[in-house]
Structure 1
Amino acid sequence: MSVYTQLTDDQFAAFCQSFGVSFARAIPITQGIKNSNWFIQTTDDTDGAPSYVFTLFEERPPADIEKMAVILNQLDGKLPVAAPLAVIESEAARTDNDKRYVIHYEDKAITLVPCLAGAHPEQTTQAMCHEIGAALALLHETLQALQPSEQYGVPLYPWSDVRDRESQFMPSDEAKLMRDIWHAYTQLPLATLPKGLCHLDMFADNTLWNLSLNNSQKGEARLTGLLDFTEVSAEHYVMDIAITINDFCTTWGDAEQGESVNFDRSKMAAFLQGYESKRPLGADEKRALPVMLAKAAVIFWLLRLNVIHYNRTEGRTGDNIMVKNPDLMKRLSAYHWSHVEKAQNTVFVLLNTHSNTDQNNQIVGVFSSITQAEQAREQLIRDQLTPDQLSNHSHFLIKEYTLDQLL
């Protein structure tokens, strides 16, 4: 992540000693956009590999980071997370049940966590989407033990304020897109959608995987780390699902590729299958998902605009400051919204083109959204096709039909 606050080696050494760690070297981490982070090499790291990640939280108050430490300890042992080290207390200050995980520097919080093995994936696969879906569901289930959830999560950011500020400077078509998506979101049955503690930033670059050549060739990449729990809040689970899908199921082209945005709906179907293997979605959640996908993209569109605004007002400049292109999320918002608009007057019919019956193209399902039709198709492919047939999706076709029209 970006480095905003500069520390000396003497300061690093003193902070690390508070956690019982012998400091040798700090290496800046420049990916990301919010906090200042460094890898820490210790005097025991003979091979030169860092053992810890040192984070100075630029915006979140220390009390919020203390809550994050409780959340990570709740997940520790069930999911691959890096729980913060406890501060070494004197005998007089030590209590059995009151550990401290945060130290303060100029009203900012500092934590030290073990490095996790693995690497960030440059591209995701269907298998990885399935696994991260199952992991997110397990996260949702595990954190239900922390009640009331609002006391453990940080407050949700007032994105409507950012929307009102930024929309003044947008072209009219962009402002309308954002306004339409926001209105559709408010029309969802929000009061009845299940909610609890959510990660809300589960992008691929906040995960680690075993991506060794042998495993990659066999399609056996395994999740080894979940990172960045600073945004954990009490929110609708389907919003957390949408945020994760938006990154894991999208291929983001680099500048040489014209910064293209390519959403893969087969990856989304795999993600949902993985998620529902741990926590089945309710009917209202399935109906809400298409709008949530659009709203989640809008939130990250606004987040990136807000970072640009914040850097400008704070005078932040330099090579260590990373800014992500907000237009990518704008394009993803438009893509999802086009599917929402289309689905309002469309049904999706799932056909078996290799039915054993006398009729060709036997209808096996009719769905109100392409997402549900694709998820059903993926399940049928897994359940009914032989291993030799699995790569041939043409056994099951999805056709779209506009309502109230002659065929």
Structure 2
Amino acid sequence: MKVHSHQMSVYTELSSQEIAQLLTQFDLGDYKKHQGIKAGVENTNYFVTTSEHELVLTLFETLAAERLPFYLLLCEHLNQAGCAVPRPYRQNSGDILFSVKNKPAVLVERAPGGHIDNTEPYLEQISSGLAQVHLATANFEMSQDHSHGLAWIQHNAAELMASLPTQDQALLNQALAMFDQLPELPSGIIHADLFQDNALFDNGKISGIIDWYFAGYDSYALDIAITLNDWCLDDTGNYNRDYGDTFLTAYQHIRPLTLEEQQSIPLLQVQSATRFWLSRILAQRAHGESDDNITVKDPEIMKALLVNLIAAV
């Protein structure tokens, strides 16, 4: 198994003294070392080692502080429910969210393991992990809208439409017209972004479902569709139905799907591909190409998947 360590980004510099001082607010042992880590777009991240724990310190550079308690309390709830979700630690005062250099911040356990390159051996693990999350969010008291649901797609499609090439406009209109067929489906808080870079594995087992900052209320089947679209592809980037069947069978051992959910998944895969195609166009326009600090994913790859998925509905 080829594992590479989780990459994140550093925007706010912190000294060992500053982190040691922060740790006095917790009961997590004494400061040993820390290391800035590169990748994500919106956060500063450090690995922090104490005498007792391996931790990740995250400073939120752009996310509004008032939205953060929802995500942190959700992760705490899922961790306590036995899901593979790293635990956010509370300060001795009981606070789960605190401030570092005027940025909201959180200290979370560092999940062991790393990312995987070949998804096939891990399909049962990731689908079971997702099903357990869905069972556990059903009794989570808080809620908020899914920020990138159908309303987001419709709004951004309208904004972008005129600037797209003619054949892309036709493709987008074709996708948008299909969403009218979607029924009401069982819903709750979903992860909404469970790509391979948001899952960690240790010795073949799922050890961490991370990066919950798109989580919100939507259909559980949409969460499945989003995940299928990244984990169940063949070498050419098209949907692999055999992988999908393996995923769905394992999911249903834990949370059986209604017939309507099963029938809606192909259409929800179209919805998911449309969302990520549009979000990647927007990211590319905002940031240009990838550089040392920001990874910009190629919209054309998601567009090709969208064409493939529309043909399968």
TM-score, normalised to structure 1, is 0.68
- In 1, the alpha carbon distance for the partners of 2:23 and 2:279 equals 32
How do residues 4-403 of structure 1 correspond to structure 2 at under 5 angstroms?
5-9=11-15, 10-20=17-27, 22-42=30-50, 44=51, 51-77=54-80, 78-89=82-93, 99-105=94-100, 108-125=103-120, 127-147=121-141, 151-153=142-144, 155-157=146-148, 158-189=152-183, 192-211=184-203, 221-251=204-234, 260-311=236-287, 319-340=292-313
Runs of 4+ in 1 over 3 A off after TM superposition: 10-26, 31-34, 105-108, 309-312
Tell me, what secondary structure is at the counterpart of 1:263? coil
Residue ranges of structure 1 left out of the alignment (5+ in a row): 90-98, 212-220, 254-259, 341-407
Code of the aligned partner of 2:217: A
- In 2, the alpha carbon distance for the partners of 1:193 and 1:51 equals 40
- In 1, the alpha carbon distance for the partners of 2:145 and 2:24 equals 29
Code of the aligned partner of 2:186: P
Would you say the 8 A contact 1:206–1:228 is kept in 2? Answer: yes
Change (3 A) 1:73 1:183: same
1:310, CA displacement in angstroms?
A: 3.6
Change (3 A) 1:15 1:110: same
Residue ranges of structure 2 left out of the alignment (5+ in a row): 1-6
Residue correspondences, number: 301
Code of the aligned partner of 2:241: R
Tell me, what secondary structure is at the counterpart of 2:245? helix
1:15, CA displacement in angstroms?
A: 3.5
Identity %: 25
Change (3 A) 1:188 1:206: same
Tell me, what secondary structure is at the counterpart of 1:84? coil
1:154, CA displacement in angstroms?
A: 5.1
Code of the aligned partner of 2:56: V
Code of the aligned partner of 2:26: F
Tell me, what secondary structure is at the counterpart of 1:261? coil
Would you say the 8 A contact 1:29–1:37 is kept in 2? Answer: yes
Code of the aligned partner of 1:138: Q
1:8, CA displacement in angstroms?
A: 2.8
Would you say the 8 A contact 1:33–1:323 is kept in 2? Answer: no
Code of the aligned partner of 1:128: Y
1:33, CA displacement in angstroms?
A: 3.4
- In 2, the alpha carbon distance for the partners of 1:231 and 1:108 equals 19
1:169, CA displacement in angstroms?
A: 2.2
Task: Render the CA deviation track for 1:285-340: whole Å, top value 9, x for unaligned.
Answer: 1221111111101111122222233436xxx9851222111211111111101112
- In 2, the alpha carbon distance for the partners of 1:161 and 1:3 equals 30
1:155, CA displacement in angstroms?
A: 4.6
Code of the aligned partner of 1:304: R
TM-score, normalised to structure 2, is 0.87
- In 2, the alpha carbon distance for the partners of 1:317 and 1:263 equals 26
Would you say the 8 A contact 1:71–1:152 is kept in 2? Answer: no
1:107, CA displacement in angstroms?
A: 6.1
Which moved further from structure 2: 21-30 or 329-338? 21-30
Task: Render the CA deviation track for 1:240-266: whole Å, top value 9, x for unaligned.
Answer: 000011111125x7xxxxxx4243211
Code of the aligned partner of 2:267: V
Tell me, what secondary structure is at the counterpart of 1:128? helix
Would you say the 8 A contact 1:85–1:112 is kept in 2? Answer: yes
- In 2, the alpha carbon distance for the partners of 1:169 and 1:130 equals 41
1:54, CA displacement in angstroms?
A: 1.2
- In 2, the alpha carbon distance for the partners of 1:199 and 1:234 equals 9
Structure ranking higher on relative contact order (CA contacts 8 Å, 6+ apart): 2
Highest CA radius of gyration, 1 or 2? Answer: 1
- In 2, the alpha carbon distance for the partners of 1:297 and 1:339 equals 13
